[in-house]
Amino acid sequence: MTLRLTLMRHAKSAWDDLSLEDHDRILNKRGRESADALGAWLKNEGLVPQRALVSTAKRTLETFRRLMIAAPMTPTGALYHASPDTMMEVLRSSDETDLLVVGHNPGIGLLALGLAQEAPSHPRFRDYPTGATTVLEFPADTWAGVMPQTGRVTHFVIPRELDG
């Protein structure tokens, strides 16, 4: 069996209201456009997952909603600014074989790097900008069987490559 994991950093968020807590920041105009473009890309590439696990931050939830994909979503507080280890714990509790995780840096980018057999040559992979999305496939039957550096990267994209 093959497992597929899509790791997406939330789209660009607004910083214009400094009175908001970090958890409550929403997307800015560019972020909304980027999330829309990422959703169209996921659909066009046939990469709509069975389920999405999404941090409870407003910007991650808004990113997911704007993807407009037909996948159930589970808001997951443990994903808010989570480490790669915490994200893997959350994944291991899932029965689905095709998952999307929408989270935050540095954790989401470090998880992508740590799971990839070989990092893509894309110049932005290692800094994982807002909206960066990696799709990995694993030769495993369960998420508990996924080991570091065993994922084959099938796609890596950043929104700026899609917006135009």
**CATH superfamily placement of domain 3-163:** Phosphoglycerate mutase-like (3.40.50.1240)
Average pLDDT score over the chain = 95
Q: Would you state the pLDDT for residue 19?
A: 75
- The Cα-based distances of 163 to 4, 31, 38, 47, 152 in angstroms read 25, 11, 9, 18, 26
Q: Where are the domains of the chain?
A: 3-163
On the question of pLDDT at 103 being above 90, the answer is: yes
Residue 108 and residue 9 in contact, taking contact as beta carbons nearer than 8 Å? yes
Residues 6+ away with beta carbon under 8 Å from 20: none
- The Cα-based distances of 162 to 39, 72, 91, 135 in angstroms read 10, 24, 28, 16
What pTM did the predictor assign? 0.96
Mean pLDDT score, 86-105 = 97
Q: Would you state the pLDDT for residue 161?
A: 94
Q: Would you state the pLDDT for residue 20?
A: 79
Q: Would you state the pLDDT for residue 163?
A: 57
Helix segments in 12-142, DSSP class H = 29-44, 58-67, 84-92, 107-115
Q: Would you state the pLDDT for residue 85?
A: 97
